Structure 1
Amino acid sequence: MKNPLERIGDYGQSVWLDYIRRKFIASGELKKLIDEDGLKGVTSNPAIFEEAIARSDDYAESISESAKQGKSAQDIFLDLAIADVQSAADVFKDVYEQTNGLDGYVSLEVSPSLALDPEGSMTEARSSWERLNRPNVMIKIPGTKEGIPAIKQLISEGININVTLLFSLERYEKVAEAYIEGLEARAAKGEPLDKIASVASFFLSRIDSMVDPMLEEVIKNDQSKALAARKLLGKVAIASARDAYQIYKRLFGSDRFKALEAKGAKPQRLLWASTSTKNKAYSDVIYVESLIGPDTVNTMPVETMNAYRDHGNPSNQLDGNLEEARYILSELVDVVEINLNDVTRKLEEEGIDKFIKPFNSLLETIDSKRVEVVK
């Protein structure tokens, strides 16, 4: 009998894990999740690598060897990260082949300091892609305004991209269009489309974490808007995601995309990210349970995955309550007068910073270990 995590796949959604660590791969724990829970992929980010490398002894020997070769902290990090992503990708090889390249991917992010530097992002993405040398990896590029041209160009070169740090509907649509334009540019060169994959990672809990305190402030200080504001608590992120899914269906169901699909192209699936519940007043699986639906991905941290395995109850939710979702978004702007564009802009800025800080901390840790070796 399938557990709740496995049953998510029955509704067309793939479960990915937002976690990576060398010991976790080598011990067989990752393979166990594939076999027992139907896990279909892995995502990583600088904060995850900081947790894995700086707070364990798993990497001490590798750091020491690289330090003796005179490598910098940045180069050592890339060596470690690439080795882990390659190992995980090898574990997912069967998933990749069994799903004809739909799933089985492991993602590696470009340095977060490059989020606003398209040329730097492309240079590092190409280098990492070449070094990884696996068909079932993705390079993560932040979906900033500056990242859009990089996404289009890299897709046209045949590099799989996981577009990260998406918060706004407007930006998501531009990212999806950049993917389509990249495929069109590749097709115009007569190059194949069937091996290219991409996901657009739409971040969820962080939206509610920023909007809810603003709503609480309205409830406290403006009696005329308090009732409307109270009804929106904990609902804005899911409403945004449901609206994003409608954009997805429109763009990837269009005649324009069908022409690419006839040449082997895959849609760029929406991936729900930041799915751990930050507010203890809400269900610990709210960002999983509410957004199950076809042709999507949900990447969960270990704790959320464990919670869903224990008490999830999957059903197709994405196409339901669309009118309610749009009502929530219009009430937020028109009645409560919270500008969602301002919120998502600030979330993007904070998101970049939240990756830069652990990445810098990680480099400092590696550097201190490197210096000890070369003394």
Structure 2
Amino acid sequence: MNATQTLHQLGQRIWLDNITRTLLRSGTLARYIRELSVTGLTSNPTIFEHAIGCSDSYDASIRSLVETGLSGEDLFFELAIEDLTEAADLFLPDFEASDGDDGWVSLEVSPLLADNTAHTIEAANRLYAKADRRNLFIKIPGTPQGVAAIEEVIFDGVPVNVTLLFSREHMLAAAEAYMRGIERRLEAGLDPRVASVLSLFVSRWDVAAKQVVAAPLHNRLGTAIAMRTYKAHHGLLASERWQRLAAAGARPQRLLWASTGTKDPAEPDTYYVQALAAPGTINTLPEKTLLAFADHGRVDGPLPVDGGHAEEVIESFRGEGIDDDELAARLQREGVDAFANSWHALLLRIRQKCART
């Protein structure tokens, strides 16, 4: 049994943080599902920018779509939905066998909508309807405007992957929006079973903090924030409010660890996977990290539900001048900006390929 299978047995699900047409059509993704216990897949603008820009595997589809008059964002979403519906069909047996817990893929709305609630709601509904797959999440950033959109989109019955969360407070705000959406569905006599996950970004904390803290504290803040958030999430699921929703048939909104590839060569390439083993959660791994963990990773034991030493570690960073609330806000804004930059680069790549047709 390899480490990915052991992690699966512990109760944590592994999703792949990557998608390319070659990955799909070479049989590689099917092999990861079969051999490495991969039960889902996430995508983002950076992943698609690399997939489309660094390969000719999309060129024929781009030519065909240009001939139909499509361009820009409309053309991109046709390409993305083609890939993600193919991936969703590969994961459908997991989805059905787990009664909808596993087997999900994710498609992100344009990051240019991160500060526009109304347009995010419209885009989420349109993309979900167009993809026409039960096991597809629409990714919406957990910005204040995104959180406002999440309540409405959940009420509309669209499954949501809340992305770009960086703190306990970000997670709780997104969870509050989810619960309000479910409560409104119950009041309207609608099915409360609308799935959602909460994607907390981990390694970017350590990249940011490394510039200003002493070496003994390097690469400790991200996991401390994750442990603090994990404790708060357990508390949320134990709350009377959530228990009422669960009794009515609502699904728990699961916590997902994102940005878990090791950025510091001084740490093991499986560092965040080993540190964040936790039943009932998801870890979405870059392909390189997935293969490394399957090859030489280990599962030391589950994350402590009580948060362990998280607050003590965070307090150490405050002593070094780190304001975790301020840094969380900065990291979220930088994440939005980074995805927007990838979005512009992606559309430029597509325009360049269209010009050559």
CA RMSD of aligned residues (A): 1.2
2:272 to 273, 287, 307: 287
Aligned to 2:213: 215
CA distance in 2, matches of 1:96, 1:322: 31
- Contact 2:230 2:307 survives alignment (8 Å): no
Aligned to 1:309: 294
Between stretches 248-257 and 158-167, larger displacement belongs to: 248-257
Q: 1:315 to 1:180 in 2, by over 3 A?
A: farther
- Contact 1:92 1:105 survives alignment (8 Å): yes
CA distance in 2, matches of 1:11, 1:186: 33
Aligned to 1:219: none
Aligned to 1:183: 182
Aligned to 1:349: 333
Residue deviations 1:94-119 (CA, integer Å, cap 9, x gap): 00001110010000000111111111
Say yes or no: does 1:82 pair with 2:81.
yes
Amino acid at match of 1:281: A
Measured after TM superposition, the shift of residue 70 of structure 1 is: 1.5
Q: List aligned pairs for 1:107-126, cutoff 5 A.
A: 107-126=106-125
CA distance in 2, matches of 1:347, 1:12: 29
* Unaligned 5+ runs, structure 2: none
Say yes or no: does 1:45 pair with 2:16.
no
Q: 1:233 to 1:49 in 2, by over 3 A?
A: same
Aligned to 1:169: 168
Amino acid at match of 2:241: R
Aligned to 1:243: 228
Aligned to 1:56: 55
Between stretches 102-111 and 64-73, larger displacement belongs to: 64-73
CA distance in 2, matches of 1:197, 1:164: 14
Measured after TM superposition, the shift of residue 337 of structure 1 is: 2.7
Aligned to 2:248: 263
Measured after TM superposition, the shift of residue 64 of structure 1 is: 0.3
Q: 1:321 to 1:245 in 2, by over 3 A?
A: closer
4+ residue runs over 4 A deviation: none
Structure showing greater Rg: 1
- Contact 2:4 2:14 survives alignment (8 Å): yes
Say yes or no: does 1:329 pair with 2:314.
yes
CA distance in 2, matches of 1:322, 1:123: 38
CA distance in 2, matches of 1:165, 1:328: 22
Say yes or no: does 1:367 pair with 2:351.
yes
Please give the TM-score of this superposition, normalised by the length of structure 1.
Answer: 0.93
Amino acid at match of 2:121: M
CA distance in 1, matches of 2:249, 2:71: 42
Aligned to 1:224: none
Measured after TM superposition, the shift of residue 321 of structure 1 is: 7.8
Name the SS for the 2:16 alignment partner: strand
Amino acid at match of 2:203: S
Residue deviations 1:284-312 (CA, integer Å, cap 9, x gap): 11111011111100000011001101111
Residue deviations 1:165-202 (CA, integer Å, cap 9, x gap): 111221111111111111111111111123x1111000
Measured after TM superposition, the shift of residue 153 of structure 1 is: 0.9
CA distance in 2, matches of 1:316, 1:81: 37
Aligned to 1:220: none
Amino acid at match of 2:198: A
Q: Report the number of matched residues.
A: 357
Amino acid at match of 2:188: K
Please give the TM-score of this superposition, normalised by the length of structure 2.
Answer: 0.97
Amino acid at match of 1:104: G
Name the SS for the 1:152 alignment partner: helix
Measured after TM superposition, the shift of residue 8 of structure 1 is: 0.4
CA distance in 2, matches of 1:82, 1:166: 24
Q: 1:232 to 1:159 in 2, by over 3 A?
A: same
Name the SS for the 2:295 alignment partner: helix
Say yes or no: does 1:198 pair with 2:196.
yes
Residue deviations 1:117-161 (CA, integer Å, cap 9, x gap): 111111111110000101100000000111111011111111000
CA distance in 1, matches of 2:36, 2:353: 37
CA distance in 2, matches of 1:34, 1:372: 36
Measured after TM superposition, the shift of residue 320 of structure 1 is: 6.5
- Contact 1:167 1:348 survives alignment (8 Å): yes
Residue deviations 1:242-268 (CA, integer Å, cap 9, x gap): 110111111112121111112221111
- Contact 2:39 2:91 survives alignment (8 Å): yes
CA distance in 1, matches of 2:175, 2:156: 17
Measured after TM superposition, the shift of residue 371 of structure 1 is: 2.7
- Contact 2:256 2:281 survives alignment (8 Å): yes
CA distance in 2, matches of 1:49, 1:233: 31
